[in-house]
Structure 1
Amino acid sequence: MLSAPLTALAAAEVSICYNYGCVTEAPVRFDDAALGAQQRRLATARTAEEERQILAEVIGWMYREAGKQSPIHADRAGDFLDDGVYGRMDCIDHATTTTRLLAVLEARGALRFHRLLPQARRTRFVLFQHFSAVVEEIVPAPQAAVEAVPDHVPVLLALCDCDVSDDLPKPAPEAAGTPGARYVIDTWFYDHGTPAVVLPLAAWLDGEGPNVQ
């Protein structure tokens, strides 16, 4: 859970889960400057696919930062490589924590091409369930033009009631995506702090992903 309402210029404190089943939680803090740097990385994405690629790396960074303030740095891929280790994380810990981290980014306006959804669960066998954070692709709001207004435009406006719309810089068009497509952001598959695995939700539900237990 978040400790306080977030703004675009605020640090964030997030409660992370570990020791399996979210049985233990600890607060970790991300300062504004560090979050702002990651937000600028995400802002370089020109497509939803690019944003997902960068998002996987940003979430990995957030886990590494959290590992400096909590025992989750001991977490290893899957559930068996760190069996009995304090700070280990199962898929419930990961899904809950990643969803909270994504909520921080979303609250800051860092996600232009995606919105956060409730966690997903897959069940392939009676005794095996797996959980993950999920995002959905959306149509982004158009970006403002970043080019400077040409010097002659203010002069024209001062001299006459002219139409200068053709002289103004135009925003670059966004590449077409697939709004409504859903993807898992899954940090359970690899060792602590590794970029998240991003998969289409349908493929993940069908069992795709690295072969770990």
Structure 2
Amino acid sequence: MRWFGLYGVFLLALSGCAGNQPVINPGSFIAQYGLTPPAPDAFIYCSDHDCLNKTSISLSGREWQGIISPLKGGAGTAAKEREALAVSVGNFERVVAKRAGTSADRARTGMRNSQQLDCIDESLNTTVFLMMISAEGLLDFHDLEGTAGRGGAFDWPHFSSTIRERKTDMTYAVDSWFRDSGQRADIIPLSQWKAGWNPPDFK
């Protein structure tokens, strides 16, 4: 993140833990960072912490169809749709990272550089992708919910996009921050994620 971005996160944490903040509406979240409503042929991809670096991307129809292929044809169940979504988020990141020069992005935040993404970048990019697939009606069992936070004054704040399952009303974090560029996202029940969930191999 930029230093003033970090300062803003700390103020958020101190004024009330990030984990206690309401979910941020997708449109409002991307607008805070100067992003406009996305479409596959015209959207912004964020990197360099706190979306300091913005890359304009235009995907071809063939590229877009390859990215969303796991979601085409209907998943059959909500659980299978989450599996397909996790793969599709990874597909999106892998294809777009080649254009944005961020294929070297490694799991978690790491040192700031133009190729690295922090959790704000990851949340913005995932939100952009979820907004696009939602607009195309590719989710049969879920709706895009928004951006959730966790952590606070004594725990480093972390953020993630979320989806809500229509039938159960259960919310899930869609988190691509824990993995290297292009790997499948982790989709975890939000209550579990807010409680401090990390992958088993997290160090």
Please, what TM-score do these two structures have when normalized by structure 1?
A: 0.72
In 1, Cα distance between equivalents of 2:153 and 2:178: 18
Which residue among 93, 97, 104 is the counterpart of 1:74? 104
Is the CA contact (8 Å cut-off) linking 1:116 and 1:135 kept in structure 2?
yes
Instruction: Return the structure number with greater relative CO, CA threshold 8 A, min gap 6.
Output: 2
Aligned length, in residue pairs:
167
Deviates more, 1:38-47 or 1:66-75: 38-47
Q: 2:88: which partner in 1? A: 58
Change (3 A) 1:184 1:194: same
Change (3 A) 1:63 1:180: same
Q: Which amino acid aligns with 1:93?
A: D
Q: Which amino acid aligns with 1:41?
A: P
The question of 1:205 aligning with 2:189 is answered: no
| 1:148-159 superposed matches below 5 A | none
Q: 1:97: which partner in 2? A: 125
| 1:161-200 superposed matches below 5 A | 178-200=167-189
Change (3 A) 1:40 1:89: closer
In 2, Cα distance between equivalents of 1:40 and 1:128: 36
In 1, Cα distance between equivalents of 2:175 and 2:37: 24
| 1:115-130 superposed matches below 5 A | 115-123=143-151, 126-130=154-158
In 2, Cα distance between equivalents of 1:183 and 1:12: 28
In 1, Cα distance between equivalents of 2:69 and 2:52: 34
Q: 2:116: which partner in 1? A: 88
Q: Secondary structure at the match of 1:74?
A: coil
Q: Which amino acid aligns with 2:179?
A: Y
Which residue among 10, 17, 25 is the counterpart of 2:46? 17
Question: Rg larger in 1 or in 2?
Answer: 1
The question of 1:41 aligning with 2:70 is answered: yes
RMSD: 2.0
Q: 1:27: which partner in 2? A: 56
Identity of aligned residues (%): 29
In 2, Cα distance between equivalents of 1:136 and 1:27: 29
